[in-house]
Amino acid sequence: MPVTFHLKRTPTVPLEAEVLTPDVIGGLSNAEIRALTVYHGKRQLPLGEFFDVEGEKCEDLVLHGTMPKVRWVGRAMSKGTITIHGSIGMHLGAYMTGGLINVHGNAGDWIGAEMKNGFIHIHGNAGGQVGAAYRGALQGMRNGTIIIDGSAGLEVGMRMRRGTIVVGGPTRDFTGLQMKGGTIILMSGAEIRTGAWMKRGTIISLKPLQMMPTFAYAAHLNPVFINILARTLAPFGIRLPNEESEGAYALYSGDRSIPGKGEILVWQPGA
Amino acid sequence: MLRITGGKVYDPANGINGQVKDLCIDDKGRFVASVDGGRTIDATGMIVFPGGVDVHTHVAGGAINFARAMTPEDHRRTQAFIRTKSRRSGLGGMAPTTFATGYLYAGMGWTTVNEAAVPVLSARHTHEELADIPIVDKASLTLMANNEIMLDQLEKGEYERAKQVVAWYLWAAKSYGIKAVNPGGVTAWKWGKDAKQLDSPIEGYRNLTPGSIVTQLARICDELGLPHPMHLHCNNLGAPGNISTTLDTLHRLEGRRAHIAHSQYHAYGGDGWDTMCSSTAELAEHFNSHKNLTTDAGAVLFGDTVTITADGPWQHLLHKLTGRKWGNLDVENETGCGIVPYTYRPSNLVNAVQWAAGLELLLLIEDPWQVFLSTDHPNGGCFWRYPEILQLLMRADFRKECIAQLPDKIKGKIRLPEVTREYSLYEVAISMSAGPARALGLTHKGNLGIGCDADLVIYEEDHDVVRMFGHPRYVIKAGEIVIEEGEIREAPQGHEFLVRPHCEPDIDDFMRPLFEECYTMQFENYPVELERIEHPHLRDCVPIPG
């Protein structure tokens, strides 16, 4: 039986709830869970003030409610699952090293920031800085997968080092900013300055992108690795085209102002 | 009033080496022969040291503040100080916040710190921050070897004028002494150049050379009678083969006293990064034969830190070498500064040489009154890691274990494996307290004698050196118990030491036109008012005849 949390009091200021992880909740009784400390702004309150809690001693968590102000859920989790029915706030799954997060709704900024491993699936939209490095840090996500069915905001995958981000809807400016590795797949393209300052890594876009002048066109091709990637992502309903009869990817390399060895692949049907 | 009984006392200033002795402290926070009443601390089985004195650290002012702003990634992972009744909030880490700096120093038993690099233009800011560093007493040094108004006087051969200009700046900054950083090099940096040759004219000057700045500034410090001699960061910091520059610089002192800052960074042989090796033996030999010189190690510890120095050109090079982020400040016509976060790794041959070189200097310079504990905080490592260095100095077997973890290629590049010396507690007390206090001319510090300031630290005797020095049982500052049982009990405000060297009355009239020509601020607004200094303590200047 999973531990379920129903939001009963809507926080008026951000509620920092980094205790909502399978690692913390897993071994606790119902009363202990309700007594865990959360920060409502600067005030320390028991978790039970904000949530009705059912169940205990389980590494599967289910959250219900409209929670755009609830932050840090799943912070540094290493195992178990979190399922969220409703919307969730910033820093979801930040620093996580394992486990699974499913959100049936929208999520805020900084989801999966500096994560080391694990899986996050947002069925709605996400904010900016998905899988990014926090301000000042050298590296964003080191591994793991983030799938967003809807759109995402600014600086998606900023300074990411490894791992995969898939965004179904469009992303905003600076997608893959200062990227150091890993893969970003854009099913619906992005706004401007995609891949700015990218050092290494791959951005794949199925829609045309406005390329920066510091990216150089290299070739048209149907790389084999796309087939492997497509096979991994197929179970999530993601389809990456790569048949020569359908078209080809235009490869751009950059960002030459660094100078970087990153690559942007833009799908061109019928090319 | 306080009485400390039964402790083993290490007071090198008075030659007391581990004798059991009672100490008495009066209401004014001074040591006295006896007291009536008051609290008694039974220190039986414990060790009593004079409070630590840091001769060279960077804890306040524009540069460290820039470093704090540049490293938010460190703030997230570091020790947080939560506000309590006796303590304000703050953060530790690579560049701790002001209040946390005081707590961390005092928490380790240090009671006096010397902020070693202050541009006059940011002196007001520095004093505001120093006022917010609780518990410890403070002093600050003014950056002078790249000040253009002063250099212009030396260029023209107007030595007496230059001396007056220095005196005027010192009092304007309300500081305690003179710091010379890469003489001429920071000035040259404003032309995109550096000053690596002691005898080559500095960029922008016709005759003036780094060597002549060193000679004349050392003389100026003596003739002004500053309690602390010229505090010198030599040219060519960090570069392979810089030992020749360093030794050459020491000869330019022409026998005058000086304190050589973070000498680890100035003791390398080789001619490139691949061949870089430690040349500490040569440098140590010079110190062993020149007793009027002191130095601090500037030791390096492996791990993350942030480097900050007025040596702008070096920082630019470091940024280019590492690809890490870089901050650069230009301080009008006085100096500059650069900031680069850095990680020292044992697997990196250059870092391994640096690590060994710092320890070698502390061990090869025979007289502990000449070489002091420092990491050039935060450049070589953070000050709160000093107990780790003490462990390396006091335990040769532990040192051997650490050396074994260095890359094999290090063989032949360092001297440390051959050094068997271990510091005694008495030598530690000199290196962390009595020695730096004497070098700073603070005769009432680092000294448990009658009449001196009652700053002391009581350790639980422990074979684990890091635990012993990292967690003192009691820390007493000016007779007040500030740390007890690992808790901060009180956070009193310390003093700030200043000097007022003699100035000719016409110096204001001389400075004004030059100032108005160069600076972006009003002449009247420039000097820091004495009222701005919290608890100033004016020290006398006693000129040493040239």
| Residue of B66, B26, B15, B18 lying closest to B331 (CA atoms) | B66
Instruction: Provide, as residue numbers in chain A, all residues whose Cβ is less than 8 Å from the Cβ of B324.
Output: 138
- Which domain, by its residues, includes A204? 106-269
Please give the helix or strand (H or E) that residue B538 lies within, else none: strand B536-539
Sites in chain A below the pLDDT cut of 50:
none
B252-309 residue pLDDT tens: 999 999 999 999 999 999 999 999 999 999 999 999 999 999 999 999 999 999 999 8
Residue B518: strand, helix, or coil: helix
Q: How far apart are CA B525 and CA B182, in angstroms?
A: 28
Nearest CA in chain A to B77: A137
Quick: pLDDT tens for B515-545: 998 899 999 999 999 999 999 999 999 988 7
- Say yes or no for a CB contact (<8 Å) between A135 and B70: no
Contacts of residue B411, Cβ cutoff 8 Å, sequence gap at least 6: none
A213 touches chain B (CB under 8 A): no
For residue B523, give the DSSP letter: G
Q: What are the chain B neighbours of A138 within 8 Å (beta carbons)? A: 73, 324
Asked if B297 and B374 count as a contact pair (C-beta separation under 8 A), the reply is yes
Any domain includes B1: no
Distance from CA of A228 to the nearest CA of B (A): 34
Name the nearest CA neighbour of A140 among A183, A188, A173: A183
Six token digits for residue B308: 């900050």
Residue B332's pLDDT is what? Answer: 85
**Tell me: the pLDDT tens digits for B152-178?**
999 999 999 999 999 999 999 999 999
- Put simply, whether B461 touches A (Cβ < 8 Å) is no
Q: Which phi-psi region, left, alpha or beta, contains residue B253 (left: φ > 0; alpha: ψ -120 to 50)?
A: alpha
Task: Flag if B72 and A138 touch (Cβ within 8 Å).
Answer: no
Report CB contact under 8 Å: B76, A138.
no
The CATH number of residue B81's host domain is 3.20.20
Residue B199 domain-assigned (yes or no): yes
Query: In this complex, is the C-beta atom of B65 within 8 Å of any C-beta atom belonging to chain A?
Result: no
**Contact B71/A at CB under 8 A:** yes
In a domain, B526, yes or no: no
* Strands A145-148 and A119-122, sheet pairing: parallel
Q: What is the DSSP-derived secondary structure letter of residue B93?
A: S
Instruction: Note the ipTM here.
Output: 0.76
Question: How far is B164 from A196, CA to CA, in rounded Å?
Answer: 53
The pLDDT value given to residue B546: 61
A39 touches chain B (CB under 8 A): no
pLDDT of residue B334: 86
Question: Is the distance from CB of A262 to CB of A195 less than 8 angstroms?
Answer: yes
Of B70, B76, B324, the CB nearest to A134: B76
Q: How far is A138 from chain B, CA to nearest CA, in Å?
A: 8
Average pLDDT over residues B302-323: 91
Helical pair B386-394 and B349-364, crossing angle rounded to 10 deg: 70
d(CA B425, CA B99): 30
CB of B340 within 8 Å of a chain A CB? The answer is no
Instruction: Name beta bridge partners: A226.
Output: none
User: Exposure of B347 by Cβ count < 10 A (0-12 exposed, 13-18 middle, 19+ buried)?
Assistant: exposed
In total, the C-beta contacts within 8 angstroms joining chain A to chain B are 13
| Optimal mutation site among B66, B70, B71, B73, interface A, most CBs of chain A within 10 A | B73
Q: What is the DSSP string of B191-256?
A: TT-----TTSPPTT-SS--HHHHHHHHHHHHHHHT-SS--EEE-SSTT-TTTHHHHHHHHHHTTT-
**A-proximal residues of B, 288-327, CB under 8 Å:** 324
**Structural domain boundaries enclosing B185:** 48-496
SS3 B394: helix
Report the residue of chain A nearest B326, measured CA to CA: A136
pLDDT, mean of residues B320-343: 90
| Strand, coil or helix: A226 | helix
> With contact defined as beta carbons under 8 Å apart, do A86 and A63 qualify?
yes
- Which of B70, B73, B324 comes nearest A134 by C-beta? B73
Chain A environment of B70 (Cβ under 8 Å): 136
Residue B243 predicted with pLDDT over 80: yes
Q: Are B40 and B94 in contact (CB under 8 A)?
A: no
Q: Return the residue matching tokens 């060790």.
A: B47
What's the burial of B207, exposed, middle or buried (CB within 10 Å: 0-12/13-18/19+)? exposed
The token duo for B362 is: 């502390």
Contacts of B74 in chain A (CB under 8 A): 136
CB proximity A137 to B under 8 Å = yes
**Does residue A116 lie in a domain region?**
yes
CA neighbours within 13 Å on the CB side: how many for B542? 5
For the cut 90, the answer to whether the pLDDT of residue B127 exceeds it is yes
- Residue B21: DSSP 8-state: -
End-to-end, the C-alpha distance of chain A in Å comes to: 53
Contacts of residue A136 in chain B, CB cutoff 8 Å? 70-74
CA distance A3 to A1: 7
End-to-end distance of chain B based on CA atoms, in angstroms? 45
User: Are A137 and B70 within 8 A, CB to CB?
Assistant: no
In this structure, are residues B375 and B306 in contact, taking their beta carbons and an 8 Å threshold?
A: no
Q: Is residue B400 part of a domain?
A: yes
pLDDT, residue B417, reads 95
At B60, which helix (H) or strand (E)? none
Residues in chain B: 546
What is the domain count for chain A? 1
The candidate with the shortest Cα–Cα distance to B369, out of B421, B422, B434, B420, is B434
Res A271: pLDDT: 66
The two three-digit tokens of residue B114, written as one number: 């010397």
Residue of A nearest to B70 (CA): A136
pLDDT value at residue B304: 94
The alpha carbon of residue B71 is apart from the nearest alpha carbon of chain A, in Å, by 6
B76 chain-A contacts, CB cut-off 8 A: 134
Mean pLDDT over each residue of chain B, to the nearest integer? 94
Q: Does A42 touch chain B (CB under 8 A)?
A: no
Question: B445: exposed, middle or buried (C-beta count within 10 Å: 0-12, 13-18, 19+)?
Answer: buried
What is the mean pLDDT of the segment spanning B487-504? 94
Please calculate the CA angle A249-A252-A258 and round it to the nearest 5 degrees: 155
Residue A135 to chain B, least CA–CA distance (Å): 6
B71:A135 CB<8 A: no
Looking at the domain assignment, is residue A154 inside a domain?
yes
Is residue B504 in some structural domain?
no
**A64 in a structural domain:** no
Q: What backbone phi and psi angles, to 5 degrees, belong to B430?
A: -70, -50
- The answer to the question of residue B236 being in a domain is yes
Peptide linkage before B378 cis (omega within 30 of 0):
yes
| Calpha distance B35→B43 (Å, rounded) | 17
Q: In terms of Cα–Cα distance, which of B398, B399, B386 is closest to B360?
A: B399
Domain count, chain B: 1
Residues B61-80 have a mean pLDDT of 92
Q: What mean pLDDT comes out for the span B311-322?
A: 90
Q: Is B76 in CB contact (< 8 Å) with chain A? A: yes
By percentage, how much of chain B surpasses pLDDT 70?
100
Residue B61 binned pLDDT confidence (cut-offs 50, 70, 90): very high
Any domain includes A132: yes
- Does residue B185 lie in a domain region? yes
Average pLDDT over residues B421-428: 97
| pTM, to two decimals | 0.89
CA distance B381 to B428: 19
From CA B513, how far away is CA B519, in angstroms rounded? 10
Q: How far apart are CA B451 and CA B465, in angstroms?
A: 31
